[in-house]
Structure 1
Amino acid sequence: MATYRVLVSDPISEKGVDALRTAPEIQVDVNTGLKPDELLAIIGDYHGLVVRSQTKVTPEVFAAAKNLKAIGRAGVGVDNIDRNAATDHGVVVMNTPSGNTISTAEHAFTLMLSLARNIPQAHATVIAGKWDRKSFEGVEMNGKRLAILGMGRIGTEFAKRAQAFGMHVVAYDPFLTAARAQGLKVELAETADLALAGADVVTLHIPLTDETNHILNKARLSSMNKGALVVNCARGGLVDEAAAKELLDSGHLAGIALDVYEVEPPPADHPLFAAKKAVFTPHLGASTAEAQENVGIEVAYQLKDFLVSGEIRNAVNMPNLDAKTLESVGPYLNLATALGKLLAKIGPGQVDALRVSYLGPVSELDTQLVTRTVLTGYLSGAHHEAQVNLVNAPAVAKALGLQITESTVAIATNWTELIEVSAVKGGETFTVAGTFFGNAPRIVHILGHNVETNTSGQFLFVENDDRPGVVGLLGSSLGTAGVNIANMSLSRNKSLSRAVTVIEVDSEPPVSLLETLRATPGILRVLSFGL
């Protein structure tokens, strides 16, 4: 019997649907064209959802989707998915950025050339029976300064084609390094303003966010050379269409080519439709047979691998965890969870910050996911109202005002490898740490005491005055209550005259025993918990 149910609510290629069905753990239902109320009525039954751009995944959908674990978007843009609601509900959102890369890059490049050479206008006159060779003088792309905003996969492919046409490429992307720009043979601009100043052509390949909305405003468009061309195959809203119309009318801009619009579909009286030099297409960037098939197959495998094996690829709201990363950091995740939960059990409440430090081979890995796992363990162990998982843990921490940082251990230790987790409250710090004995994760430090115990099981934690007889009392008390000891670790701090005992037991001690121990002179704290 299938473990997971996946709803395909927008059309994807049959090969994509077939790829999902290859997993015996997954039952696939294809139900497209659902109205919002119809989706709300059934979404609670599903663990996975596959969409394109038609299905709107709103906060109301997430509230109804009690079992939903992941959404796969067959395409790049996730504007139709409320990412904040997804994160709050612990749902991974994955897109398919590579499936339509070539298709979109080629379409944007075609729009640029069509705009430069007046192809649509000339075509219209020829089929109208005219032979007007004088009205459609174009411009060459050779030697022109091209500004590319966004140097991801699509922007990079556009740059390659532009360079083949002899264009000088200037690129702006907040994540593009100087070394990468040099490798791509493009000029790196530190800001969008610098990229656009003096540009002859601009093409956009960035997502639509609060920061990028109207990134091509009147001021930036005005900074381009007179006679400049604008191409947008990315997202409607990146171009201030009213400002573009004004600059086209004034003659500063020579033309505009749009595949996406602020309102889709655009109204019949859209002001830019009156522009003499313009090219418009109805959101066709990914509309090739190859791209449609590629994104359908890609999203299917991503969703299948997440549900079946836990791999995360192309997620937009958490770190990726592909098979290679899972293999390298996987052994550390159970230890990270245990340390987070342990600190939540024995540390104070309402801490100000959580600090995760790494020593040895683990510090050379990408520890972002390990740190997030520590946080998840800590929050779940602290019994917060929210259902916490790897996706929403940072959002829950932010809502609580809990800061989290990571660093490398800079102090001398007895261990060649160590993960240290500290909770900071006021001027006090409470620390636990763990390492590996061979391949076995072990907890080796609790609140200033060196111990050695397992990372899972039922535990009794006792803090007491360092005096004779306490350990014997603990053993006899547990024996009388019928609680078997599986493992015991003792540690003492001579300077404080304090000792701790960590006892792994086979069953949870009765409440009456815990109350008796807490009332015993010399015993300062008794905690019973599972990890």
Structure 2
Amino acid sequence: MKALVADAINEKGIENLKEVCDVVVDTSITPEELLETIGEYDAILIRSRTKLPAEVIEKADNLKIIARAGVGVDNVDVNAATKKGIMVVNAPESTSITVAEHTMGLILSTIRKIAIADKSTKAGKWEKKAFMGMELRNKTLGVIGMGRIGSQVVNRCKAFEMDAIAYDPYLPPEVAKNMGVELYEDIEDVLTRADIITIHVPLTPETEHSISTEQFKMMKDTALIFNCARGGVIDEDALYEALVNGEILGAGLDVYEKEPATNNKLFELDNIVCTPHIAASTKEAQRDAAIIVANEVITLFKGGMPKNIINMPRMNNSEFEETNDYLELCEKLGSFITQATSSPINKLEITYKGEINKLPSKDLFTRTILQGILNPVTETAVNAVNATTVAKARGISITEAVSDDSEGYDTLIKVAAKTKEGQMSAEGTYLHEAKIIKVNGYWVDVKPEGNMFIAKYKDIPGSIGAIGTKFGEENINIGIMQVGRDSTGGEAIMILTLDERPSKEAVKKIKDLDNVSDATCLKL
């Protein structure tokens, strides 16, 4: 076996790898050289410098595993790797402590004005009165996103004798209680109550600019806000105005809407502490990441199964051809369900109908459905191996069933999610492409792709027109419309594919219509 280390990783990981295979370290390899030589290797270990697009992966005829010594895999064409039968693994747990500690560093530096006091003192000044700070003790920490990193921040703030409250619509209350956190159903409750707010959510269409002008006006004028998660969750223009106008007291950022952030007006202000996306950059984190991914490669080379698989377990060509289409459908169904459900899922019922029951991979299908459900709402990647563990930690019980009745189709997969507010179900099949053919029992014919919109409404004249009019007023074009109903004048459902995502204000206007009971946006 032969492995290429294409980016600088900790030496300990390389030493471990050398025990089982030949290792070539070339941390300056060019894209052209990589394209020419990739076919020689069984494994490649990278960080963020090396890019693995489809044209490189296509040449990787011997490659069995791509190991990313870190969390993000934006520099890897995961779909191309999956089609080639190549595992993609990462090291999601390596940075949790490091990012949590950096968050604490920003909090302390801001609340005690350490950064500007340091600058002043080194300039030969002695401005003690200018740098009056505050204690963390008895302050309320508000956490937006209670995943691996958010929970670590809570642990550290508890040591400072802080109270902790949180907003995470996908975290069951009993799990939050065990963490010592008071969970709120509305983000507004956290924003208005918290003295210090820290963000730990992924960047999605739903979370992008979720902290903007309206949210800053809700906060205390003594509040501090911090983001070590993803740039774009905070609207930087709105943050600038809030800091300048005294709507909040201060902020700390490690991530930005545009990076590298070398020309940002926030840098002009003294009441914000800024760092250049270094929250995960510690010797320990980089060491751990190198060891973790090296061990993943070693496990595979010794015939075992790595645990941090981003795509799916390795399959031979015939197995891949049999399952790949259904895996795509499973991921789409999961993503559709989680975005269409407004409160935490506590029970998941999955039914496999028809020909799919002849395949040996139903466990993998279930795990892929969970990936689709969890990835839009968690801060770190959920994969085929850890999906059931993450679901259990979030209090989701899972029931699987099989049926011969596929209602005229070769195969149907039904996913029903139960929450405290009710149930949402979707059924899909694969007919040359993934299709959703039932939603909440109503027959539809939907391609789960792009900007989508779902509305539940009363099936009376004028209801559909009223919804369409609202989109017309927003200058948003409807590409495809599907409707289903149980009976004339009863409840009906509408699923639209839109040319662009509507604003939150537009969705609210539709939800406020007399005959509409619910409405939500999805991005697939």
How many residue pairs get matched? 355
Match of 1:288? 282
Match of 1:123? 118
**Aligned-pair distance for 1:271?**
0.5
In 1, Cα distance between the equivalents of 2:355 and 2:406? Answer: 8
Question: Alpha carbons of 1:216 and 1:19: their partners in 2 closer, same or farther (altered >3 Å)?
Answer: farther
Larger radius of gyration: 1
Match of 2:453? none
Question: Alpha carbons of 1:103 and 1:94: their partners in 2 closer, same or farther (altered >3 Å)?
Answer: same
Question: Alpha carbons of 1:250 and 1:186: their partners in 2 closer, same or farther (altered >3 Å)?
Answer: same
In 1, Cα distance between the equivalents of 2:295 and 2:62? Answer: 20
Q: What's the TM-score once normalised by structure 2's chain length?
A: 0.60
Q: Deviations for 1:440-476, whole angstroms, at most 9, x for unmatched residues?
A: xxxxxxxxxxxxxxxxxxxxxxxxxxxxxxxxxxxxx
Match of 1:426? 408
Q: Deviations for 1:195-237, whole angstroms, at most 9, x for unmatched residues?
A: 4343322222233344433343333333322232121222333
**Aligned-pair distance for 1:273?**
0.3
Question: Alpha carbons of 1:166 and 1:288: their partners in 2 closer, same or farther (altered >3 Å)?
Answer: same
Question: Alpha carbons of 1:232 and 1:64: their partners in 2 closer, same or farther (altered >3 Å)?
Answer: farther
Q: Is the 8 A contact 2:144 2:168 kept in 1?
A: yes
SS at match of 1:100: helix
**Aligned-pair distance for 1:186?**
0.4
**Aligned-pair distance for 1:425?**
7.0
Question: Alpha carbons of 1:270 and 1:47: their partners in 2 closer, same or farther (altered >3 Å)?
Answer: same
In 1, Cα distance between the equivalents of 2:206 and 2:31? Answer: 29
- 1:180 corresponds, among 168, 171, 175, to 175
SS at match of 2:208: coil
1:80 aligns with 2:75: yes
1:10 aligns with 2:7: yes
Q: Is the 8 A contact 2:103 2:226 kept in 1?
A: yes
Q: Is the 8 A contact 1:148 1:205 kept in 2?
A: yes
Q: What's the TM-score once normalised by structure 1's chain length?
A: 0.59
- 2:165 corresponds, among 161, 165, 170, to 170
The answer for unaligned runs of 5 or more in structure 2 is 327-351, 369-382, 385-397, 413-524
In 2, Cα distance between the equivalents of 1:243 and 1:63? Answer: 44
Match of 1:273? 267
Q: Deviations for 1:286-325, whole angstroms, at most 9, x for unmatched residues?
A: 2322222111111110122134324131223348x9xxxx
- 1:247 corresponds, among 242, 251, 259, to 242
- 2:401 corresponds, among 388, 408, 411, to 408
- 1:22 corresponds, among 11, 19, 23, to 19
Question: Alpha carbons of 1:372 and 1:296: their partners in 2 closer, same or farther (altered >3 Å)?
Answer: closer
Give matches, 1:122-521, under 5 Å.
122-267=117-262, 269-318=263-312, 354=354, 368-369=363-364, 407-408=400-401, 424=406, 426=408
In 1, Cα distance between the equivalents of 2:243 and 2:51? Answer: 34
In 1, Cα distance between the equivalents of 2:144 and 2:97? Answer: 17
SS at match of 2:131: coil
The answer for unaligned runs of 5 or more in structure 1 is 322-332, 345-351, 374-389, 392-404, 410-419, 431-531
Q: Deviations for 1:157-186, whole angstroms, at most 9, x for unmatched residues?
A: 110111122222122335422222111110
In 2, Cα distance between the equivalents of 1:6 and 1:190? Answer: 48
Matched AA of 1:12: I
Matched AA of 1:58: P
**Aligned-pair distance for 1:113?**
0.7
Match of 1:52? 47
Q: Is the 8 A contact 1:356 1:406 kept in 2?
A: no
Question: Alpha carbons of 1:264 and 1:38: their partners in 2 closer, same or farther (altered >3 Å)?
Answer: farther
Q: Is the 8 A contact 1:357 1:406 kept in 2?
A: no
